[in-house]
Amino acid sequence: MNAANSNKGDLPRETPVLIVGGGPVGLALALDLGWRNVPCVLVEQGDGDVVDAKMFATGIRTVEFCRRWGIAEKVKHWGFPDDFPFDNVFVTSLDGHELGRIPMPALKDIPPFDVSPEGYAHCPQFIFDPILAETVRKYPHVTLRYHTRFASFRDEGGNVVAELIDEKTGKTETIRAQYLVGCDGIGSTVRKQLGFEMHGTGMINHSFNVMFKAPELWAQHDKGKAGRYVIVGEEGAWASLTPADGKDLWRLMIHGDLDTDPATIDPAHELRRAIGADTPFEVVKFGHWIRRHLVADRYAKGRVFLAGDAVHVMPPNGGLGMNTGLGDSVDLGWKLAAVYDGWAGPHLLESYEPERRPVGIRQCDEAMENFQRYGSRKPVPHVTDETPEGERVRAELGKRLSNANSQAWENPLNTHLGYRYEGSPIVEPDGPLPPEPEDSRLYTQTSHPGCRAPHAWLPDGRSTLDLFGRNFTLLRFPGAPTAGPIVSAAARRGVPLDVVELSDPKIATLYERKLVLVRPDGHVAWRGNAPPSDALVLVDRLRGVSAVRPTAMGHAAETVGAAAGSA
């Protein structure tokens, strides 16, 4: 066991929030709560070591969250060489033909984005999760308990009593929590006990990861360094190869079929096929996983919530799974904090599902489209032939694959930043939202309620995003009327509110209104050129005083994917 992951403190008998699962989503929730001074307990059945190389692509919104938590620099600069180009290359094998290429810059050459103070990062989960855990440990009011399996819960109305099993001693313990959050992945025990079903395309294929060492692999072939080599054979794209640490550690991801028998996969054989028969390698780990596309019917019931893969699981194509889960944690974090701090309305937590479930559906469907564009196991006869016909097939396929995949791989900003909480019961609407672009690379910032509040640089070198976090933030632009009514209403209800005066005309134009009220998670709650006629009604809406109407719950109106199946 990793010494750093030893248990921290005794398990308290009671806690405001019990989190089940110490993957990235549970850790992010513990971190967000720790950062907001909310005591919580996280239980994880494993020892915290990440053995499978799952997530590599850390999305731009995730890096923005990390910036808020003070860990963005660690996530961006953990040791991956910043001059390693991230080209996507389609090849028949590293020692075979190159079919096409989507050029992508190295980390140091990515031009800053106008729309964010941050960018994408390449931070594999075996680096990312420990950064989250190390930061969580700094909060004395957060308990991280490894080797502790959640077995069941009992919702007593006023609180939840959970039964936990110490995996080392077999001893059973109970803990009483005001809220329980299941971040326990696709096999979620919490979800199963709630009886929620998952729907979508279901199982797509058997997939396999081979982590292997091959120092300076790029020196053994003529394709150069790249962020991803897609390996295409006569059976179509059958694998992708990705650098893990930019030095000697790599991951080969092999696509099987629905009926592939895992016992028939020989990792060494597949590696030789992908990187060339004469290239030396050492297999570090071989793992089997199932590619799925599913979203849960419900995200919450009573005092119990679900987040991350426990409620949405998608093909990793486009790198959206964990990034979507972190959005769940951030949405839930400030709402649980508001309840703990005593200013939430009785229905604030009910807004979690109608805000996050549509995002889960959106991201799962986009990941599915990415997977389909990829051409996994769609036969390509003659692609390896050394004939004029083979040459023609390679040229045509290379062009097609490069065109089809560039949306997903060339910074799909709208996918990561453009989701909005349309129809949320705790957002004051302001007319119809602008339509989303067809091309997911195009993202336009807007202060429309429900959207992520825009980024702009402030004269002191901070981003506008740095103004948001613990409290509501009311931005006042030149010519704005008094913020007095909103400030008084917030004070009357105990809602923490900062008022920030911004004089830069460019930022004023970007924000579109003279007064813009931003929630602690950085989404716009309300905007106007004058305070609302009754500021108390507004503040009560934003803190969840009114019950959520069933039609606004997202699950009634929306379904995931075209094909239905269930898990």
Site residues (vs ligand FAD, CB under 6 A): 20-26, 43-46, 54-57, 125, 149-150, 183-185, 189, 209, 253, 289, 308-309, 316, 319-323, 325
Residues 6+ apart with CB under 8 A from 219: none
Question: Nearest distance from residue 314's CB to ligand FAD, in Å?
Answer: 8
Percent helix / strand / coil, the chain, rounded to 5: 30, 25, 45
Cβ 34 vs Cβ 470: under 8 Å? no
Supply 114's token pair. Answer: 């106008």
- Cβ closest to ligand FAD, residue 124 vs residue 233: 124
Q: How far is the CB of 529 from ligand FAD (least distance, A)?
A: 39
The single-letter code of the amino acid at 404 is: A
Taking the complex as a whole, how short is the minimal distance between the CB of residue 271 and ligand FAD, in angstroms?
16
Nearest distance from C-beta of residue 57 to ligand FAD, angstroms? 4
Buried b / exposed e along 412-439 (16+ C-beta atoms within 10 A): bbbbbbbbbbbbbbbbbebeebeebeee
Q: 313 vs 483, which CB is nearer to ligand FAD?
A: 313
CB of 293 to ligand FAD, least distance (A): 12
If you search the block for the tokens 């403190």, which residue do you land on? 9
Minimum CB distance to ligand FAD smaller for 319 or for 561: 319
Nearer to ligand FAD, 97 or 357 (CB): 357
Residue number with CB closer to ligand FAD (28 or 548): 28
Residue number, 209 or 351, with CB nearest to ligand FAD: 209
Q: How many angstroms from the chain centroid is the CA of residue 502? A: 31
Report the distance separating Cα 56 and Cα 110, nearest Å.
Answer: 17
State which residue, 43 or 214, has the beta carbon closest to ligand FAD.
43
CB of 290 to ligand FAD, least distance (A): 9
In whole angstroms, how close is the CB of 235 to ligand FAD at the nearest point?
Answer: 20
Closest CA to 194 of 247, 150, 235: 150
CA 325 – CA 348 distance, rounded (Å): 20
DSSP string over 324-376: HHHHHHHHHHHHHHHHHHT---TTGGGGHHHHHHHHHHHHHHHHHHHHHHTTB
- Residue 152 or 551: the one with the smaller Cβ distance to ligand FAD is 152
CA distance 94 to 229: 8
CB of residue 450 vs ligand FAD: minimum separation in angstroms? 23
Pick the closer one to ligand FAD by CB: 288 or 400. 288
**The pair of three-digit structure tokens given for residue 20, joined into one six-digit string:** 């089940």
Least distance (Å) between residue 465 CB and ligand FAD: 20
d(CA 338, CA 317): 35
Q: How many residues does the chain have?
A: 567
CA distance 224 to 89: 10
